[in-house]
A = this chain, B = another copy of it.
Amino acid sequence: MISNLAAAELLGATLAQADFYPRLPQQRRLYEAARTAILLQQLSAGSKLPSTRNLASELGIARNTVIAAFEQLAAEGFVITSTGSGTYVSASLPSTSQPKRKLDGNAEVVPETPPNGFATLSKRGTQLTEFAAGTRYEIQPFAPGDADFSVFPFKLWQRLQNRVWREARPDLLDYGQAGGYLPLRRAIAEYLRVSRSVKVSIEQVMITAGTQQSLDLCALLLADVDDTTWVENPCYWGARRIFESCEVNLHPVAVDAEGIAPSEADLATNPRLIYVTPSHQYPTGVVMSLARRRMLLDLAQRKGAWILEDDYDSEFRYTGRPLAALQGLDTHGRVIYMGTFSKVLYPGIKVGYLVAPPALVEPFKAALYDLQRPGQLMLQAALADFIALGHFATHIRKIRQAYGAKRELLRKTLAAQLGQSAPISGEESGLHLVVEFPDHVDDEALARLAAESGIAVNALSHYYLEPPVRRGLLVGYAYVPAEKIVYYGKLLAHVIQAGLRR
């Protein structure tokens, strides 16, 4: 803060600047200098301004000029003139978001949009947001607002967090500088070895803020602008957005009953990245066959491509044991494996992980820190305890059972109403199922129809990069309360039937 006595000096220095509105009359220049000093709080609220006489003499200008400037400031509420005692900066300033006087004295309106002639968004910004008018959910409840976390062990989770906070370790308040909290990386490595047959040492595990963040690292570090990136078609559009933001060249590859199925034309390209969801293709639910897995690993090795394996929902397999990860078959270090806790615990936890081949560990750790500056080590510590104490395994069993029951109930409800008119597909896993339509059906219109009934589902055609091959609806059931599955299921079936009859 500048002392009261220095106010005249401050205003004088501002006025002395050659570039300070040189063409304006003195009175307006003084007004501008004072107003800005007040807004910048160089002249603080309640502080007294010099008398008009003193200021005029300090600045070498006519006293009337000063009086006129002060009057304008008072009229606009910047200063208060108290007869006999002087002029003070107002305690409450006029809202600066109100129209203000421009230098020419006319009222000025803050424009809502930038002036014509300049693009608002960059080209990539336009591309990245043009899809945005669509729905914001993916595997969210098919009835939004009804999120069900009845299986989540709130009390236990709170207890574990409290234990960590009571310890108050200062190092856990800092950024995560070595790929994440070591005991969590160890717990993840063990889990992945045992449950997913991933070949992994602790060193290779890095904690990220989720799959979007994992993919961003991979795309930035392993591909350049316009490098070819194979994505499954249809594809997880969250991944698509990341690849688009990194400006790689998306090359859609068809998916058949065995997973990604590159044609001769596809094979003639040289992908730098291959993004796949082998355990449960998103969104169709297909499991990648062994032959395809081998083919893909072979191809990656021959072409020097990197396979990005997104194992986002491998924990949800309702019959039999989960399939092993593609990464476990990789003998040449070409697979980057990634997973997330957002699907098993709760979406907003924002803790994911990636397993980098040994050759990539160091650059990935460096870029993870430099670009994303990870944190949340307290949360990571609670999560490490959650896993180490066996609660994670218990929780997976519990939700697998709960979600499996919901899935079966939803499947039955829909099948009973829809019969063969709209068969239900998707393997016995995941967090959503797919209701398939004949090719001529406008599934996007049907999704909008469902939305009007308060049901949030996504059109299958929405996930294709090229003209859609199949039509249908993705129906997420994980977060719908079990007792409402039948009600919403019937409602959805009615909407579908009405839509199909059109």
Residues of A whose CB lies within 8 Å of any CB of B are: 1-2, 14, 17, 19-20, 36-37, 39-42, 44, 96-97, 100, 108, 110-115, 117-125, 128-129, 131-132, 136-137, 140, 145, 147-149, 152, 154, 157-158, 161-162, 165-166, 168, 170-177, 197, 199-201, 209-210, 212-213, 216, 220-225, 227, 238, 241-242, 245, 247, 272, 290-291, 294-295, 301, 304, 319-324, 328-329, 331-334, 342, 346-350, 357-360, 362-363, 366-367, 369-378, 479
CB distance from A139 to the nearest CB of B (A): 11
Determine whether the beta carbon of B323 is less than 8 Å from that of A367: no
Determine whether the beta carbon of A37 is less than 8 Å from that of B366: no
Determine whether the beta carbon of B224 is less than 8 Å from that of A321: no
Partner of A14, one of B166, B170, B291: B291
Determine whether the beta carbon of A114 is less than 8 Å from that of B348: no
Determine whether the beta carbon of B348 is less than 8 Å from that of A172: yes
- Chain B hits for A333, CB < 8 A: 110-114
Determine whether the beta carbon of B125 is less than 8 Å from that of A222: yes
Determine whether the beta carbon of A42 is less than 8 Å from that of B290: yes
With A122-B220, A174-B348 known as contacts, the answer to whether A136 contacts B197 (CB < 8 A) is no
Partner of A111, one of B173, B332, B347, B362: B332
| Copies of this chain held together in the complex | 2
CB distance from A424 to the nearest CB of B (A): 22
- Chain B hits for A212, CB < 8 A: 371-373
How many Å lie between the Cα of A263 and that of B189 in the bound state? 54
- Chain B hits for A304, CB < 8 A: 114-115, 117-119
With A40-B290, A147-B174, A348-B376 known as contacts, the answer to whether A238 contacts B121 (CB < 8 A) is no
How many Å lie between the Cα of A363 and that of B136 in the bound state? 13
- Chain B hits for A129, CB < 8 A: 221, 362-363, 366-367, 370
Partner of A147, one of B147, B171, B358, B359: B171
Partner of A124, one of B170, B224, B329: B224
CB distance from A245 to the nearest CB of B (A): 5
Determine whether the beta carbon of B172 is less than 8 Å from that of A161: no
How many Å lie between the Cα of A40 and that of B154 in the bound state? 34
How many Å lie between the Cα of A375 and that of B200 in the bound state? 28
